[in-house]
Structure 1
């Protein structure tokens, strides 16, 4: 009995770790990423809600950036943040979708259609759930009437660059290209996050929460689309 149970467990684990299985490695990686991201988001949200040490750290960092702002860095930060606002990200997402259509990658086109708009909608819902006020300054660089937590710009950047990096990593056989795509995505998301904190639009915890929130949503979207593709491919082979 024990040997049979052990054998079944090993077959289950092997199936979950199989790259080509319908419910294999991609599903395992997606679920683990989702669980990790949701756990981190919950920790950040709880700390923010309770006014824990992270709140004092947030205020200290925001004031430091405000007091040490200088040109031309401020202009550069404004350029980065404007290039990742809602209008710009809608255009970039549409161009990415067109590129996937041109490359005849319908499942990646579907992933784009549900991940970026869906993730931005999720971000708006979370803002209204937590209703955190934005950083306050005597002469702010930006004045916004919306809520602060989590950062919409950072969420959109994570969704867009994360999706693009995922495509390169899963379709390109060269490790250099895969690493370059991952590093490039991380750097772009970090720049957008930095611009929002530098300009006083968000706290550090806002941008960190936006990153893990979007990572969780990306895991759901990419894993779901990948499972759909594999399931249809398996049916065709039958």
Structure 2
């Protein structure tokens, strides 16, 4: 048992610390998403809180904040995120990081597809207002913009954290990613496109999917390197 635990917490090896961290992140993400989804489906207090927050933001909206939030949300729509993800993949290719390129190709498109499937599973209506800032025909839960931002910035931060030896750079990358995801989530709630629970569920869902993708690619890389060393 001690040997097994030591192997799971070892920074090296095919099934070491990276796998343990990935599994923990996956479990936490899935559990958080399930709790939020259950609360929304059962109409618990979170549903009333969602409505209250949405109405508060709608009633207190003002310029130039509204224009700024529209800019943030449009920069993280499907077309923009496809461009950003392609540029990130190209950057990984030019840097000679094929495994990170593979992670990008799997994580972002796969996570966005997963989000669409979840929308059709839960079929939650979006917040309703007399004069909405945005009119969208798709379902609300979970937030696609927030999911895409979590995947993109989470992947970028993961790369920096695993490749940089400077702890200040690592902290800056994690903080920057968290702030960008929070800003995108806030823009969706502020503009009345989503409820708070929609964006929180998107973060949890995407964190879980990102854990699967990065852990799988990392395990593949370690396994191939181990075979070469034999």
The alignment status of 1:159 with 2:151, answered yes or no, reads: yes
CA distance in 2, matches of 1:71, 1:36: 38
What TM-score do you get using the length of structure 2 for normalisation?
A: 1.00
**Which of the numbers 205, 209, 228 marks the counterpart of 2:220?**
228
Look at both structures and tell me which one has the larger radius of gyration over its CA atoms: 1
CA distance in 2, matches of 1:114, 1:178: 23
User: Cα distance, 1:187 vs. partner?
Assistant: 0.2
Partner of 2:99: 107
**Which of the numbers 18, 21, 44 marks the counterpart of 1:29?**
21
**Which of the numbers 40, 51, 61 marks the counterpart of 1:59?**
51
Partner of 1:79: 71
The alignment status of 1:118 with 2:120, answered yes or no, reads: no
Q: Structure 2: 5+ residue runs without aligned partners?
A: none
Q: Structure 1: 5+ residue runs without aligned partners?
A: 1-8
| Structure 1 vs Structure 2 CA RMSD | 0.3
Report the 3-state secondary structure (helix = DSSP H, G, I; strand = E; otherwise coil) of the residue aligned with 1:231.
helix
Report the 3-state secondary structure (helix = DSSP H, G, I; strand = E; otherwise coil) of the residue aligned with 1:23.
coil
Number of aligned residue pairs:
230
CA distance in 2, matches of 1:218, 1:107: 14
User: Cα distance, 1:216 vs. partner?
Assistant: 0.2
Report the 3-state secondary structure (helix = DSSP H, G, I; strand = E; otherwise coil) of the residue aligned with 1:170.
helix
The alignment status of 1:136 with 2:136, answered yes or no, reads: no
CA distance in 1, matches of 2:93, 2:114: 25
Q: What does the per-residue CA deviation read over 1:186-230, in whole Å, with 9 as the maximum and x for residues that have no partner?
A: 000000000000000000000000001000000000000000000
**What stretches of structure 1 move > 2 A for 4+ residues in a row?**
none
